[in-house]
């Protein structure tokens, strides 16, 4: 079997075309485009690249973005005050703090200071908890992008055996919750899992987010499985690879995402989606508050509320 490639770059491009139209409509309705504020602390090269990509993606769809930079010695107070200011700023619909942060920063406090209405990364405790009970405001971008990829290929989730390799707060755990809420039977594996292959071989859908190149080899994959590779690893020769042995596993899987060009472009696209959904929600709220018009039927659904 040679797996069908799930092309994240192509889907991201298609979705961004739709997002551009929504941005234009918001800008027309309320006189300004959606706004995203990105906070970048320190000089981490990878973080700088991620932030640059996010800013460029915003520009490409018409979202107004602003990047606020701090040196790595920034105090907790200064960071929290900045977030509080952005929370109160009507021109800002989404706030993102690029991770990781320096060790002296109180990360949970930083994340919980972001208004839940502007938490477009979905890392606030409210949004994380919302994933458990099924009413999150914003889904975290990477798992949300994986769900969109599966949906775009009409891959059934309900009733499927899903194995998620990796149990981080930003990818593995929310991924598992989102797929479980769609009816999958989910197993989560992590660095302490004994005999990883005994789990992965059962997966109809295998999502891998461990950060270990070649962790998943062909004999660990069920014939016909759907394999989603979230990993991004820089190899000694400078190239980028995922966590899956792409060539070997392509011979067994029915569908597979490439790295690069799979999940990565979707992660950024879901950040744009969340920011636009936030702007649509606040614009609908403003109209309601002014008593001028009722929100269009289905507007909240279309804007991604309950998108977990
Ligand atoms: P993390 O380091 O926070 O978590 C890694 C998880 O993998 C942990 O739960 C750990 O226990 C598990 N793990 C590590 N080694 C393992 C092994 N040998 N067997 C089984 N489990 C193992 O990482 P993260 O932030 O969740 O990111 C995971 C990977 O996904 C990284 O490569 C990261 O660069 C990538 N990533 C990609 C995107 C994207 O948009 N494509 C977004 C976020 C993260």
The stretch 31-42 carries a mean pLDDT of 97
pLDDT at 68: 98
Task: Looking at the CA of residue 262, tell me the nearest atom of ligand 1.
Answer: 41
* 172 CA → ligand 1 middle, Å: 7
Q: pLDDT category, 134, cuts 50, 70, 90?
A: confident
pLDDT at 295: 43
Of the candidates 128, 135, 183, the residue with the CA atom closest to the CA atom of residue 155: 183
| Residue nearest (by alpha carbon) to ligand 1 atom 4 | 168
pLDDT at 283: 81
List, in sequence order, every residue forming a beta bridge with 69; answer none if it has no partner: 40
pLDDT at 250: 98
Task: Looking at the CA of residue 230, tell me the nearest atom of ligand 1.
Answer: 41
Catalogue the active-site residues: 54, 98, 121
Of the candidates 217, 226, 105, the residue with the CA atom closest to the CA atom of residue 155: 226
Both tokens of 295, joined, read 């929100």
Q: Is the pLDDT of residue 27 over 80?
A: yes
- Residue 107 in contact with residue 88, Cβ under 8 Å? no
Ligand 1-lining residues (CB < 6 angstroms): 142, 165-168, 170-172, 189-191, 193, 196, 209-212, 215, 230-233, 263-264, 267
Both tokens of 38, joined, read 């990105």
* 77 CA → ligand 1 middle, Å: 30
Task: Looking at the CA of residue 193, tell me the nearest atom of ligand 1.
Answer: 20
CATH of 141-263, one of 2.40.50.660, 3.40.50.720, 3.40.50.12780, 2.40.10.220: 3.40.50.720
Of 49, 142, 188, 191, best ligand 1 pocket probe by most atoms within 8 Å of the beta carbon: 191
pLDDT at 255: 98
| Residue nearest (by alpha carbon) to ligand 1 atom 15 | 191
Query: How does 176-190 read in b/e, with b if 16+ C-beta sit within 10 Å?
Result: bbbbbbbebebbbbe
pLDDT, one tens digit per residue, over 51-95 is 999 999 999 999 999 999 999 999 999 999 999 999 999 999 999
| Residue nearest (by alpha carbon) to ligand 1 atom 5 | 210
pLDDT, one tens digit per residue, over 185-243 is 999 999 999 999 999 999 999 999 999 999 999 999 999 999 999 999 999 999 999 99
Of 100, 163, 167, 209, best ligand 1 pocket probe by most atoms within 8 Å of the beta carbon: 209
Both tokens of 174, joined, read 């929310």
Distance of CA 14 to the CA centre of its chain: 17
Taking the C-alpha atoms of residue 64 and residue 179, their distance in angstroms, rounded to an integer, is: 32
* 25 CA → ligand 1 middle, Å: 37
- Residue 36 in contact with residue 273, Cβ under 8 Å? no
- Residue 208 in contact with residue 165, Cβ under 8 Å? yes
Fold entry, domain 30-117: Rossmann fold (3.40.50)
Q: Angle, to 10 degrees, between the axis of helix 172-181 and the axis of helix 125-133?
A: 30
Q: Quickly list DSSP for 251-306.
A: TT-SEE--SSSSHHHHHHHHHHHHHHHHHHHHHHHHHHHHTS-PPPTTHHHHTTTT
The stretch 293-299 carries a mean pLDDT of 42
Q: Is the pLDDT of residue 299 over 60?
A: no
Q: Is the pLDDT of residue 298 over 90?
A: no
Query: How does 286-295 read in b/e, with b if 16+ C-beta sit within 10 Å?
Result: ebeeeeeeee
Q: pLDDT category, 152, cuts 50, 70, 90?
A: very high
The stretch 260-276 carries a mean pLDDT of 97
Indicate if 141-263 has the same CATH topology as 30-117: yes
pLDDT at 291: 63
The stretch 142-163 carries a mean pLDDT of 98
Q: Specify the DSSP element, H or E, that contains 17.
A: helix 8-30
The predicted model scores a pTM of: 0.93
Name the residue ranges covered by the structural domains of the chain: 30-117, 141-263
Q: pLDDT category, 290, cuts 50, 70, 90?
A: confident
Q: Specify the DSSP element, H or E, that contains 189.
A: strand 185-189
pLDDT at 88: 98
pLDDT at 292: 55
Q: Calculate the alpha carbon distances from 179 to 51, 65, 170, 184 in Å.
A: 28, 31, 14, 6
Q: Is the pLDDT of residue 141 over 80?
A: yes
Both tokens of 200, joined, read 């992965």
Considering only residues 283 and 104, tell me which one the structure prediction assigns the higher pLDDT.
104
Q: Is the pLDDT of residue 289 over 90?
A: no
Q: Angle, to 10 degrees, between the axis of helix 141-152 and the axis of helix 263-290?
A: 100
Report residue 165: phi and psi, to 5°: -100, 115
Q: pLDDT category, 139, cuts 50, 70, 90?
A: very high
Q: Is the pLDDT of residue 285 over 90?
A: no
Task: Looking at the CA of residue 263, tell me the nearest atom of ligand 1.
Answer: 41
Q: Calculate the alpha carbon distances from 128 to 44, 121, 206, 249, 274 in Å.
A: 26, 10, 22, 32, 15
Q: pLDDT category, 297, cuts 50, 70, 90?
A: very low
Q: Is the pLDDT of residue 308 over 50?
A: no
Mean pLDDT, the chain, integer: 93
Both tokens of 257, joined, read 């995402």
């Amino acid at each position: 079997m040679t797996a069908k490639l799930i092309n994240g770059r192509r889907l991201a491009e298609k979705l961004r075309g739709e997002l551009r139209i929504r941005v234009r409509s918001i800008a027309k309705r309320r006189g300004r485009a959606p706004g995203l504020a990105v906070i970048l602390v320190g000089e981490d090269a990878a973080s700088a690249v991620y932030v640059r990509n996010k800013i460029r993606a915003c520009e490409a769809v018409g979202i107004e973005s602003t990047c606020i930079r701090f040196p790595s010695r920034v105090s907790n107070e200064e960071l929290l005050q900045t977030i509080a200011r952005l929370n109160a700023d009507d021109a800002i619909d989404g706030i993102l703090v690029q991770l990781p942060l320096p060790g002296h920063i109180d990360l949970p406090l930083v994340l919980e200071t972001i208004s839940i209405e502007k938490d477009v990364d979905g890392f606030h405790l409210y949004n994380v908890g919302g994933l458990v009970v099924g009413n999150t405001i914003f889904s975290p971008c990477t798992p949300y992008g994986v769900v969109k990829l599966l949906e775009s290929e009409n891959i059934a989730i309900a009733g499927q055996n899903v194995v998620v390799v990796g149990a981080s707060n930003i990818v593995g755990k929310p991924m598992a919750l989102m797929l479980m809420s769609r009816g999958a039977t989910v197993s989560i594996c992590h660095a302490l899992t004994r005999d990883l292959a005994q789990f992965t071989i059962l997966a109809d859908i295998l999502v891998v987010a461990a950060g270990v190149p070649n962790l998943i080899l062909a004999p660990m994959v069920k014939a016909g499985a759907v394999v989603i590779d979230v990993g991004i690893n820089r190899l000694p020769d400078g190239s980028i690879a995922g966590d899956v042995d792409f060539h070997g596993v392509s011979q067994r899987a029915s569908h597979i995402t490439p790295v690069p060009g799979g999940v990565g472009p979707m992660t950024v696209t879901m950040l744009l989606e969340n920011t636009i959904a936030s702007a649509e929600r606040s614009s609908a709220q403003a109209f309601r508050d002014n008593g001028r018009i009722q929100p269009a039927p289905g507007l909240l659904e279309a804007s991604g509320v309950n998108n977990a």
